[in-house]
Amino acid sequence: MAAPSFAEPLIQHLTEDLDLSQDVLLRVLDLAAQAKRTPHRFSQALAGRYLALLFEKPSLRTRVTFELAIKQLGGDAVTSVGPVGEREPVKDVVRNLDRWTQGIVARVFSQETVKELAQWSHVPVINALSDLYHPCQALADMQTIRERLGRWEGLKLAFVGDGNNVAHSLMLTAGRLGMHVAVATPKGYEPKSHVIAAASRMGRISLSNDALEAVEGAHAVYTDVWASMGHEGEKDARQQSFPPYRVDEALMSKARPEAIFMHCLPAKRGEETTDAVMESARSVVFDQAENRLHAQKGLLLTLLG
Protein backbone atom coordinates (compact mmCIF):
# COMPACT_ATOMS: atom_id res chain seq x y z
CA MET A 1 0.00 0.00 0.00
CA ALA A 2 1.33 3.43 -0.89
CA ALA A 3 2.07 5.93 1.84
CA PRO A 4 -0.74 8.42 2.47
CA SER A 5 -0.40 11.74 0.67
CA PHE A 6 -0.93 15.02 2.50
CA ALA A 7 -1.33 17.72 -0.12
CA GLU A 8 -1.19 20.72 2.18
CA PRO A 9 0.33 20.89 5.68
CA LEU A 10 -2.33 21.58 8.30
CA ILE A 11 -0.10 23.83 10.41
CA GLN A 12 3.04 25.84 9.70
CA HIS A 13 5.02 25.38 12.92
CA LEU A 14 4.77 23.72 16.33
CA THR A 15 6.28 26.29 18.68
CA GLU A 16 3.85 25.53 21.51
CA ASP A 17 1.01 23.11 22.19
CA LEU A 18 -1.75 25.47 21.13
CA ASP A 19 -0.34 25.71 17.62
CA LEU A 20 -2.23 22.43 17.18
CA SER A 21 -5.95 23.03 16.87
CA GLN A 22 -8.24 20.44 18.45
CA ASP A 23 -8.81 18.74 15.09
CA VAL A 24 -5.12 18.72 14.19
CA LEU A 25 -4.16 17.43 17.65
CA LEU A 26 -6.48 14.45 17.17
CA ARG A 27 -5.14 13.91 13.65
CA VAL A 28 -1.54 13.84 14.89
CA LEU A 29 -2.43 11.29 17.57
CA ASP A 30 -4.35 9.12 15.12
CA LEU A 31 -1.43 9.22 12.68
CA ALA A 32 0.92 8.31 15.53
CA ALA A 33 -1.18 5.23 16.28
CA GLN A 34 -1.24 4.26 12.61
CA ALA A 35 2.51 4.76 12.24
CA LYS A 36 3.10 2.51 15.23
CA ARG A 37 0.67 -0.16 14.06
CA THR A 38 1.65 -0.23 10.37
CA PRO A 39 5.04 1.48 9.96
CA HIS A 40 5.54 0.12 6.44
CA ARG A 41 2.67 2.30 5.17
CA PHE A 42 4.72 5.42 5.90
CA SER A 43 8.23 4.21 5.09
CA GLN A 44 8.63 6.59 2.13
CA ALA A 45 6.44 9.46 3.33
CA LEU A 46 9.45 11.78 3.75
CA ALA A 47 11.56 10.42 0.91
CA GLY A 48 13.90 13.13 -0.31
CA ARG A 49 13.25 15.33 2.76
CA TYR A 50 16.01 16.52 5.09
CA LEU A 51 15.61 18.11 8.50
CA ALA A 52 18.02 20.06 10.69
CA LEU A 53 18.11 19.14 14.38
CA LEU A 54 19.40 21.86 16.71
CA PHE A 55 20.29 20.80 20.24
CA GLU A 56 21.37 23.30 22.89
CA LYS A 57 20.64 20.76 25.63
CA PRO A 58 21.86 17.18 26.12
CA SER A 59 19.42 14.63 24.77
CA LEU A 60 18.82 10.90 24.61
CA ARG A 61 15.11 10.34 23.86
CA THR A 62 14.49 13.49 21.82
CA ARG A 63 17.51 13.19 19.58
CA VAL A 64 17.35 9.45 18.96
CA THR A 65 13.59 9.36 18.39
CA PHE A 66 13.58 12.31 16.02
CA GLU A 67 16.51 10.99 14.03
CA LEU A 68 14.92 7.53 13.83
CA ALA A 69 11.45 8.90 13.03
CA ILE A 70 12.78 10.92 10.12
CA LYS A 71 14.85 8.02 8.78
CA GLN A 72 12.04 5.48 9.23
CA LEU A 73 9.77 7.80 7.22
CA GLY A 74 12.30 7.76 4.40
CA GLY A 75 14.00 11.10 5.10
CA ASP A 76 17.26 12.04 6.74
CA ALA A 77 18.54 14.45 9.40
CA VAL A 78 21.62 16.51 10.17
CA THR A 79 22.28 17.41 13.79
CA SER A 80 24.01 20.45 15.29
CA VAL A 81 24.90 20.49 18.99
CA GLY A 82 25.62 23.76 20.79
CA PRO A 83 24.19 27.23 21.36
CA VAL A 84 21.88 28.60 18.68
CA GLY A 85 22.61 32.20 17.78
CA GLU A 86 25.95 32.49 19.56
CA ARG A 87 28.21 32.88 16.50
CA GLU A 88 25.60 34.68 14.41
CA PRO A 89 22.05 35.92 14.95
CA VAL A 90 19.25 33.35 15.11
CA LYS A 91 17.58 35.01 12.11
CA ASP A 92 20.74 34.39 10.08
CA VAL A 93 21.06 30.79 11.27
CA VAL A 94 17.52 29.92 10.27
CA ARG A 95 17.73 31.60 6.87
CA ASN A 96 20.68 29.37 6.05
CA LEU A 97 18.96 26.22 7.30
CA ASP A 98 15.71 26.82 5.44
CA ARG A 99 17.65 26.99 2.16
CA TRP A 100 19.09 23.52 2.75
CA THR A 101 16.45 21.56 4.66
CA GLN A 102 12.69 21.00 4.72
CA GLY A 103 12.25 21.36 8.48
CA ILE A 104 13.94 22.41 11.72
CA VAL A 105 13.69 20.64 15.09
CA ALA A 106 14.99 22.69 18.03
CA ARG A 107 15.67 21.63 21.65
CA VAL A 108 16.64 24.90 23.31
CA PHE A 109 16.83 26.73 26.61
CA SER A 110 14.53 29.63 25.73
CA GLN A 111 11.09 29.72 24.17
CA GLU A 112 12.17 33.00 22.58
CA THR A 113 14.67 31.06 20.45
CA VAL A 114 11.89 28.83 19.12
CA LYS A 115 9.70 31.84 18.38
CA GLU A 116 12.50 33.60 16.53
CA LEU A 117 13.30 30.50 14.50
CA ALA A 118 9.66 30.25 13.45
CA GLN A 119 9.42 33.97 12.73
CA TRP A 120 12.18 33.83 10.12
CA SER A 121 11.81 30.29 8.77
CA HIS A 122 10.07 29.34 5.55
CA VAL A 123 10.09 25.66 6.59
CA PRO A 124 8.34 24.08 9.60
CA VAL A 125 9.93 24.60 13.02
CA ILE A 126 9.24 22.06 15.78
CA ASN A 127 9.73 22.82 19.45
CA ALA A 128 11.46 19.71 20.77
CA LEU A 129 11.68 21.31 24.25
CA SER A 130 12.04 24.82 25.63
CA ASP A 131 11.86 26.36 29.07
CA LEU A 132 8.09 26.85 28.71
CA TYR A 133 6.78 23.89 26.71
CA HIS A 134 7.46 20.28 25.79
CA PRO A 135 4.72 19.54 23.23
CA CYS A 136 6.34 16.45 21.73
CA GLN A 137 6.43 14.81 25.15
CA ALA A 138 2.76 15.61 25.74
CA LEU A 139 1.82 13.99 22.43
CA ALA A 140 3.64 10.78 23.39
CA ASP A 141 2.00 10.89 26.82
CA MET A 142 -1.48 11.16 25.32
CA GLN A 143 -0.75 8.25 23.00
CA THR A 144 0.42 6.19 25.99
CA ILE A 145 -2.64 7.02 28.09
CA ARG A 146 -5.03 6.01 25.29
CA GLU A 147 -3.12 2.77 24.75
CA ARG A 148 -3.14 1.82 28.43
CA LEU A 149 -6.48 3.24 29.61
CA GLY A 150 -8.50 3.22 26.40
CA ARG A 151 -9.58 6.85 26.35
CA TRP A 152 -8.91 10.37 27.62
CA GLU A 153 -12.40 11.71 28.29
CA GLY A 154 -13.33 11.68 31.96
CA LEU A 155 -9.94 10.55 33.27
CA LYS A 156 -7.93 12.35 35.94
CA LEU A 157 -4.23 13.06 35.37
CA ALA A 158 -2.32 14.16 38.48
CA PHE A 159 0.97 15.97 37.96
CA VAL A 160 3.05 16.25 41.15
CA GLY A 161 6.22 18.31 41.52
CA ASP A 162 7.57 21.32 39.64
CA GLY A 163 5.17 23.41 37.56
CA ASN A 164 7.55 23.23 34.63
CA ASN A 165 7.46 22.90 30.83
CA VAL A 166 6.10 19.34 31.00
CA ALA A 167 3.33 20.42 33.37
CA HIS A 168 2.48 23.29 31.01
CA SER A 169 2.19 21.03 27.97
CA LEU A 170 0.13 18.44 29.82
CA MET A 171 -2.30 21.09 31.01
CA LEU A 172 -2.71 22.49 27.50
CA THR A 173 -2.97 19.11 25.76
CA ALA A 174 -4.62 16.69 28.20
CA GLY A 175 -7.17 19.29 29.24
CA ARG A 176 -8.32 19.74 25.65
CA LEU A 177 -8.75 15.98 25.29
CA GLY A 178 -11.25 15.87 28.14
CA MET A 179 -8.96 14.93 31.03
CA HIS A 180 -9.10 16.56 34.44
CA VAL A 181 -5.53 17.75 35.05
CA ALA A 182 -4.73 18.20 38.76
CA VAL A 183 -1.37 19.85 39.44
CA ALA A 184 0.25 19.89 42.89
CA THR A 185 3.42 21.89 43.47
CA PRO A 186 5.25 23.43 46.40
CA LYS A 187 4.41 27.08 46.99
CA GLY A 188 6.36 29.27 44.63
CA TYR A 189 6.75 26.54 42.00
CA GLU A 190 3.31 26.73 40.40
CA PRO A 191 2.86 26.73 36.61
CA LYS A 192 2.99 30.08 34.81
CA SER A 193 -0.19 32.13 35.26
CA HIS A 194 -0.72 32.67 31.53
CA VAL A 195 -0.53 28.92 30.90
CA ILE A 196 -3.01 28.26 33.72
CA ALA A 197 -5.38 30.82 32.23
CA ALA A 198 -5.15 29.39 28.71
CA ALA A 199 -5.54 25.78 29.86
CA SER A 200 -8.47 26.63 32.13
CA ARG A 201 -10.38 28.13 29.22
CA MET A 202 -10.25 24.82 27.37
CA GLY A 203 -10.36 22.11 30.00
CA ARG A 204 -10.74 21.19 33.65
CA ILE A 205 -7.60 22.26 35.51
CA SER A 206 -7.13 22.28 39.27
CA LEU A 207 -4.10 23.48 41.20
CA SER A 208 -3.04 23.03 44.80
CA ASN A 209 -0.04 22.62 47.04
CA ASP A 210 -1.36 19.26 48.31
CA ALA A 211 0.02 16.15 46.59
CA LEU A 212 -2.48 13.86 48.29
CA GLU A 213 -5.38 15.96 47.05
CA ALA A 214 -4.10 15.93 43.49
CA VAL A 215 -3.48 12.17 43.40
CA GLU A 216 -6.75 11.17 45.08
CA GLY A 217 -8.75 9.14 42.56
CA ALA A 218 -6.31 9.76 39.70
CA HIS A 219 -6.11 7.42 36.71
CA ALA A 220 -2.54 8.54 35.94
CA VAL A 221 0.12 10.00 38.24
CA TYR A 222 2.93 11.97 36.60
CA THR A 223 6.10 13.52 37.95
CA ASP A 224 9.35 15.04 36.68
CA VAL A 225 12.74 16.00 38.08
CA TRP A 226 12.74 18.65 40.77
CA ALA A 227 15.34 20.83 39.03
CA SER A 228 15.13 20.85 35.24
CA MET A 229 18.09 21.82 33.06
CA GLY A 230 18.71 25.50 33.58
CA HIS A 231 17.65 25.36 37.24
CA GLU A 232 20.64 23.49 38.61
CA GLY A 233 21.58 26.53 40.71
CA GLU A 234 18.34 26.11 42.65
CA LYS A 235 19.01 22.47 43.51
CA ASP A 236 19.69 22.99 47.23
CA ALA A 237 16.58 25.12 47.74
CA ARG A 238 14.44 22.68 45.83
CA GLN A 239 15.77 19.76 47.87
CA GLN A 240 14.20 21.45 50.90
CA SER A 241 10.80 22.10 49.29
CA PHE A 242 10.05 19.03 47.18
CA PRO A 243 10.33 15.85 49.34
CA PRO A 244 6.58 15.93 50.25
CA TYR A 245 5.90 15.64 46.51
CA ARG A 246 7.92 12.47 45.99
CA VAL A 247 5.81 9.85 44.21
CA ASP A 248 6.32 6.73 46.32
CA GLU A 249 4.17 3.69 46.93
CA ALA A 250 2.22 5.47 49.67
CA LEU A 251 1.28 8.35 47.38
CA MET A 252 0.43 6.00 44.51
CA SER A 253 -1.94 4.13 46.84
CA LYS A 254 -4.17 7.23 46.87
CA ALA A 255 -4.75 6.89 43.11
CA ARG A 256 -7.17 4.44 41.56
CA PRO A 257 -6.15 0.75 41.66
CA GLU A 258 -5.68 0.75 37.88
CA ALA A 259 -3.71 4.01 37.87
CA ILE A 260 -0.50 4.23 35.86
CA PHE A 261 2.71 6.00 36.80
CA MET A 262 4.29 8.36 34.27
CA HIS A 263 7.61 10.21 33.98
CA CYS A 264 9.14 11.93 30.95
CA LEU A 265 12.66 10.79 31.92
CA PRO A 266 15.47 11.06 32.82
CA ALA A 267 14.49 10.27 36.39
CA LYS A 268 16.43 10.84 39.56
CA ARG A 269 15.38 7.75 41.45
CA GLY A 270 15.10 8.42 45.15
CA GLU A 271 14.19 12.08 44.60
CA GLU A 272 10.96 12.77 42.66
CA THR A 273 10.06 9.07 42.68
CA THR A 274 11.30 5.77 44.05
CA ASP A 275 12.87 2.79 42.38
CA ALA A 276 9.94 0.68 43.56
CA VAL A 277 7.42 2.86 41.70
CA MET A 278 9.61 3.13 38.59
CA GLU A 279 9.92 -0.66 38.38
CA SER A 280 6.34 -1.47 39.34
CA ALA A 281 3.70 -2.93 37.02
CA ARG A 282 2.00 0.45 37.10
CA SER A 283 4.95 2.21 35.50
CA VAL A 284 4.60 3.13 31.81
CA VAL A 285 7.69 5.31 31.61
CA PHE A 286 9.34 3.23 28.90
CA ASP A 287 6.09 3.07 26.93
CA GLN A 288 6.15 6.87 26.98
CA ALA A 289 9.74 6.85 25.76
CA GLU A 290 8.88 4.42 22.96
CA ASN A 291 5.92 6.54 21.92
CA ARG A 292 8.11 9.58 21.44
CA LEU A 293 9.14 7.88 18.19
CA HIS A 294 5.60 7.28 16.99
CA ALA A 295 4.07 10.56 18.17
CA GLN A 296 6.81 12.47 16.41
CA LYS A 297 6.13 10.51 13.24
CA GLY A 298 2.52 11.64 13.44
CA LEU A 299 3.69 15.21 13.91
CA LEU A 300 6.18 15.08 11.02
CA LEU A 301 3.55 13.61 8.69
CA THR A 302 1.18 16.42 9.62
CA LEU A 303 3.68 19.26 9.39
CA LEU A 304 5.58 18.26 6.28
CA GLY A 305 2.60 17.07 4.25
- The domain limits of the chain are 17-134+292-304, 137-288
CA nearest 160: which of 219, 225, 253?
Answer: 225
Q: Choose the catalytic residue: 72, 137, 143, 288.
A: 137
DSSP state of 247: B
Pick the CATH number of 17-134+292-304 from 3.40.50.1370, 3.40.50.720, 3.10.520.10, 3.40.50.300: 3.40.50.1370
Q: Which of 17, 146, 162, 264 is catalytic?
A: 264
- What pTM was estimated for this model as a whole? 0.95
Dist. CA 196–CA 133, nearest whole Å: 13
Question: In whole angstroms, what separates CA 217 from the centre of its chain?
Answer: 24
Distance CA 113, CA 130 (A): 9
Distance CA 151, CA 178 (A): 9
Q: Is 264 among the residues known to form the active site?
A: yes
Task: Please tell me which residue in 27, 49, 63, 107 is annotated as part of the active site.
Answer: 107
Identify whether 224 is a catalytic site residue.
yes
pLDDT tens digit sequence for 180-193: 999 999 999 999 99
**Bridging pattern class, strands 50-55 and 260-263:** unpaired
In this structure, which CATH number among 3.40.50.1370, 3.30.43.10, 3.30.590.20, 3.40.50.10860 belongs to the domain 137-288? 3.40.50.1370
Is 107 marked active-site? Answer: yes
**Is residue 150 scored above 60 in pLDDT?**
yes
- Tens digit of pLDDT for each residue in 99-126? 999 999 999 999 999 999 999 999 999 9
Q: What number is the average pLDDT over the span 6-33?
A: 89
Q: Is the peptide bond before 266 cis (omega within 30 degrees of 0)?
A: yes
Out of 13, 134, 176, 219, which one is annotated catalytic? 134
